[in-house]
């Protein structure tokens, strides 16, 4: 029989376990418990069906983080032949996180940029912007493009960067001089188009800002004026971008509908008509199938998180920036927050399902069921659902059910808790994650490519890395050495989130997971006390208070 300790309030944790007892994940990132509703969505399909209970949101196609493959390039053969074919994204960063500038032809002693051993370590913001803009003889390395576009938002708005890029392209390449238009455009257009393609593919959410879209269209129009082929490529670029933004809007509408219809199961507590109540086992009796459906949801939500959200989650006012509105304008992390809320919802769903049954043997059966689901999640590589399930089972309303736990075979659960043990900075989990990541690199099937990290720990790692390194050096230069490492961490996530889920979607199971009402923390405690009575005066007083507040009983 495992000994299960007390816990901190749920609203102070991302992982409901807090830091107490075994399996605790610590207070990593806090969001309130997610609500529930009556809709679910699917990656497949591009439209909505009014006659079905699910909304199928089309999948956004962010630029692949695995490299500038031919699928990533514009379809035009001219553009493909004129641009460097860069290696897979993971190979673009060496073990130190530095970029080796394999495809750059610019001299390393550029004004305002500081290199060491062919690694760009720092530079003035203006010099770094200049380094981003291609010319007839130069195109920036793709790792530099990704790293600078990712980190530049710590210093300026994306629309300000776009305006500067457009100005440099027009003025420096003499695109504004009528006599040089066609010849100059033919030389530089493929490279400018490629830069715009990489920006819109990898950071499409930047272009929800009308100022961004306006600058994009103005520059694209100058390029398109030189050649019919470029005109078609520009149209394709903008159409693809609009499609991505439409996908995002539809996805956010679905999430809003789910959260708006959030309800509580307090009415169930009042009557407990067991004959009409469903539980997760009646919906999906096979733990492996449930683990597959959880993986569907995880990959769905991961796919909508833009890389910039990892930076914007921690953006603070740049001391050299006098714009007071920069912080609020740039701190847009809705998809990242929605994913954290999903973790909380799953944890509370697990606790709700365990606390609901009246009979002890049914509660024990539910615990063993979720242990099996968690084990299947581990085998799949879905560490986020695994940790959410463990957190739900370690919540105090569940862990205090001592009579129930005596009926549970806990050997498998002990192994899973050991794998996710927070000691030594989650050493066991990090070892398992590295193994899954290595398997993914050499995988031949989508099933073997799945790596879903414990997300709140990933956020914590990035947060402390960001806090521990200055954005600027004493001389005012941007600390680009820091941003190489940040980009390396985010690019690994980008690789993982691009994996297509190989498991068939079961609409009924997904509907239940996403929309079934879940208990609040107080309701969980009340259900726990109703199942196994209070053991001391503190619990008795709390039980009376909860019965009075939630059920109107004395």
Q: Could you tell me the CA-to-CA distances from 403 to 130, 359, 388, 389, 535 in Å, in that order? A: 68, 11, 23, 21, 12
Distances (CA, A) of 76 to 71, 134, 173, 233, 432: 11, 19, 22, 7, 42
Whether the CB-CB separation of 498 and 66 falls below 8 Å is answered with yes
Q: Is residue 476 part of a domain?
A: yes
Distances 269 to 158, 398, 509, 554 between C-alpha atoms, Å: 51, 16, 23, 15
Q: Is residue 255 part of a domain?
A: no
Domain that holds residue 399: 10-38+284-519
499 and 451, same structural domain?
A: yes
- Indicate whether 152 and 232 sit together in one domain: yes
For the chain, the residue count is 554
126: nearest Cα among 165, 171, 166 = 165
Tokens of 57: 């949101």
Q: Which of 241, 247, 183, 198 is nearest to 217 (CA)?
A: 241
Asked whether residue 57 is domain-assigned, the answer is no
Task: Please check whether residue 160 lies inside any domain of the structure.
Answer: yes
Among 276-280, 337-341, 492-496, 537-541, the range scoring the smallest mean pLDDT is 276-280
**How confident is the model at residue 321, as a pLDDT?**
54
User: Both 506 and 405 in a single domain?
Assistant: yes
What's the pLDDT tens digit per position in 382-411?
Answer: 999 999 999 999 999 999 999 999 999 999
Neighbours of 176 (CB within 10 A): 11
User: Would 385 be classed as within a structural domain?
Assistant: yes
> Do 471 and 327 belong together in one domain?
yes
- Predicted confidence band at 261 (pLDDT cuts at 50, 70, 90)? low
Instruction: Supply the CATH number for residue 92's domain.
Output: 1.20.870.10
Instruction: State the total domains in the chain.
Output: 2
Domain end position, chosen among 223, 245, 267: 245
Band of the pLDDT at 107, cuts 50, 70, 90? very low
Find residue 472's DSSP bridge partners: 478
pLDDT-derived band at 85, boundaries 50, 70, 90: very low
State what percent of residues in the chain have pLDDT above 90. 60
For residues 238 and 298, state if they share a domain: no
> In this structure, are 318 and 393 located in the same domain?
yes
Q: Which of 230, 245, 260 is the last residue of a domain?
A: 245
Are residues 231 and 297 part of one domain? no
The tokens for 318 are 């740049």
Q: What CATH number is given to the structural domain containing 385?
A: 1.10.840.10
> Which tokens in the block code for residue 145?
């493009």
**Residue 300 is assigned to a structural domain of this protein:** yes
CA distance 80 to 78: 5
- Asked whether residue 163 falls in the same domain as residue 229, the answer is yes
Residues 182 and 231 in one domain: yes
State whether 161 and 303 are in the same domain.
no
Mean pLDDT lowest among 205-219, 251-265, 404-418: 251-265
Collapse the DSSP code of 413 into the 3-class scheme (helix H, G, I; strand E, B; otherwise coil) and give the result: helix
Q: Residues 551, 387: contact at Cβ < 8 Å?
A: no
Q: Give domain status of residue 529, yes or no.
A: no
- Report the DSSP pairing between strands 54-55 and 40-41: parallel
**Same domain, yes or no: 31 and 113:** no
The CB density around residue 536, as the number of other CB atoms within 10 Å, is 8
Least confident window among 254-268, 335-349, 450-464: 254-268
pLDDT value at position 317?
A: 55
pTM higher than 0.85, yes or no? Answer: no
CB burial of 133-171 (b: ≥16 within 10 Å; e: otherwise) equals: bbbeeebbbbbbbbbbbbbbbbbbbbbbbbbbbbebbbe
Q: Same domain, yes or no, for 33 and 149?
A: no
3-state secondary structure of 106: coil
Query: What confidence tier does 225 reach under pLDDT thresholds 50, 70, 90?
Result: confident
Question: Is residue 428 included in any domain, yes or no?
Answer: yes
Point out the domain boundary residue: 216, 245, 274.
245
Q: How far apart are CA 286 and CA 62, in angstroms?
A: 33
Between CA 146 and CA 148 the distance in angstroms is 6
């Amino acid at each position: 029989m495992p000994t299960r300790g007390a816990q901190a309030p749920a609203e102070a944790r991302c992982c409901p376990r807090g830091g107490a007892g075994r399996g605790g994940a610590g207070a990593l990132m806090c969001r309130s418990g997610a609500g529930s509703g009556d809709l679910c969505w699917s990656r497949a399909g591009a439209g909505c069906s009014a006659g079905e209970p699910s909304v199928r949101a089309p999948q956004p196609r962010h630029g692949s983080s695995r490299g500038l493959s031919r699928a990533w390039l514009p379809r035009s053969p001219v553009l493909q032949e004129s641009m460097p074919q860069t290696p897979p994204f993971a190979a673009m960063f060496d073990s130190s996180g530095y970029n080796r500038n394999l495809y750059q032809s610019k001299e390393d002693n550029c004004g305002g940029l500081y290199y060491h051993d062919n690694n760009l370590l720092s530079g003035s913001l203006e010099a770094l912007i200049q380094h981003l803009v291609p010319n007839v003889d130069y195109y920036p390395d793709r790792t530099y493009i990704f790293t600078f576009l990712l980190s530049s938002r710590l210093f300026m708005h994306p629309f300000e960067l776009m305006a500067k890029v457009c100005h440099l392209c027009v003025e420096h390449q003499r695109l504004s001089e009528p006599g040089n238009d066609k010849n100059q455009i033919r030389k530089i257009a493929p490279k400018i188009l490629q830069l715009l393609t990489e920006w819109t593919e990898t950071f499409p959410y930047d272009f929800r800002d009308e100022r961004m879209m306006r600058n994009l269209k103005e520059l694209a129009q100058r390029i398109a004026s030189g050649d019919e082929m470029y005109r078609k490529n520009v149209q394709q670029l903008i159409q693809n971008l609009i499609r991505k933004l439409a996908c995002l809007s539809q996805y956010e509408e679905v999430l809003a509908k789910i959260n708006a219809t959030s309800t509580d199961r307090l009415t169930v507590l009042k009557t407990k008509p067991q004959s009409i109540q469903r539980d997760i086992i009646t919906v999906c009796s096979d733990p492996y199938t449930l683990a597959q459906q959880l993986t569907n949801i995880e990959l769905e939500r991961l796919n909508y998180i833009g890389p910039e959200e990892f930076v914007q989650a921690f953006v603070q006012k740049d001391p050299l920036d006098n714009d007071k509105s920069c912080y609020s304008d740039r701190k847009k992390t809705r998809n990242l927050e929605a994913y954290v809320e999903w973790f909380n919802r799953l944890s509370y769903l697990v606790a709700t399902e365990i606390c609901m049954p009246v009979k002890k043997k049914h509660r024990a059966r539910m615990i063993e069921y979720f242990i099996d689901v968690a084990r299947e999640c581990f085998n799949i590589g879905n560490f986020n659902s695994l940790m959410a399930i463990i957190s739900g089972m370690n919540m105090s309303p569940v862990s205090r059910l001592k009579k129930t736990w005596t009926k549970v075979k806990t050997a498998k659960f002990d192994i899973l808790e050991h794998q996710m043990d927070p000691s030594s900075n989650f050493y066991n989990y990090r070892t398992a994650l590295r193994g899954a990541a290595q398997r993914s690199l050499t995988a031949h099937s989508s099933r073997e490519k799945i790596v879903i990290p414990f997300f709140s720990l990933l956020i914590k790692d990035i947060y402390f890395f960001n806090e521990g390194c200055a954005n600027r050096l004493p001389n005012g230069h941007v600390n680009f050495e820091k941003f190489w490492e940040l980009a390396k961490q985010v690019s690994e996530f980008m690789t993982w989130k691009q994996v297509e889920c190989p498991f068939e979607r079961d609409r009924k199971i997904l509907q239940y997971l996403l929309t079934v009402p879940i208990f609040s923390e107080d309701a969980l405690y009340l259900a726990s006390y109703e199942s196994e009575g209070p053991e001391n005066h503190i619990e008795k007083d709390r039980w009376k208070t909860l019965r009075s507040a939630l059920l109107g009983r004395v």
